[in-house]
């Protein structure tokens, strides 16, 4: 199994173990974000599992040399029954035309970043984040 397939299998296993009662909108949106980055050309993924803290997908374009990633897609796991998502980017790799992100000075490996926290089922916000993921992936590949 290739390293890429191994990482994707690890993420799929995490999604499969994500239990709970009823509708799981954060699980569904995490799947959408995962599907977005895994289908990007020339993008590698790492997965960092820290149960009780977070589960993180970290995409990196193969042409990136100065940074280890272009986004962090986190499932915040401080309360497994009430997980939420935080998607973060380097500030110089995306735009935020609607001003929805929280600026994090020096928050990504010492660089300024934007984080977008998702607590509820919001299709428009999720689409906005998919657009930011695509934008960051394009910037990383230049």
Per-residue pLDDT tens over the stretch 107-139: 888 889 999 999 999 999 999 999 999 999 999
CA distance 93 to 127: 18
Going by pLDDT thresholds of 50, 70 and 90, the confidence category of residue 106 is confident
Cα separations in angstroms, 73 against 1, 22, 138: 24, 23, 17
CA distance 105 to 84: 22
Going by pLDDT thresholds of 50, 70 and 90, the confidence category of residue 22 is low
Give the model's pLDDT for residue 30.
Answer: 97
pTM of the model: 0.95
Closest CA to 88 of 99, 67, 100, 74: 74
Evaluate whether the domain defined by 3-140 bears CATH number 3.30.1460.
yes
């Amino acid at each position: 199994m290739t390293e890429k397939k191994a990482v994707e299998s690890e993420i799929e296993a995490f999604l499969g173990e994500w239990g709970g009662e009823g509708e799981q909108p954060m699980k569904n949106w995490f799947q959408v974000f995962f599907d977005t980055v895994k289908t990007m050309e020339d993008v590698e993924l790492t997965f960092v599992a820290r149960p009780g803290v977070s589960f993180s997908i970290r995409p990196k374009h193969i042409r990136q040399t100065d940074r280890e990633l272009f986004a962090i897609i986190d499932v915040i796991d401080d309360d497994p029954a009430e997980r939420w998502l935080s998607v973060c980017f380097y500030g110089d790799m995306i735009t935020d035309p609607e001003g929805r992100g929280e600026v994090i000075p020096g928050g990504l490996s010492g660089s300024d970043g934007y984080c977008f926290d998702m607590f509820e089922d919001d299709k428009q916000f999720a689409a906005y984040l998919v657009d930011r993921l695509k934008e960051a992936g394009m910037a990383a590949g230049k």
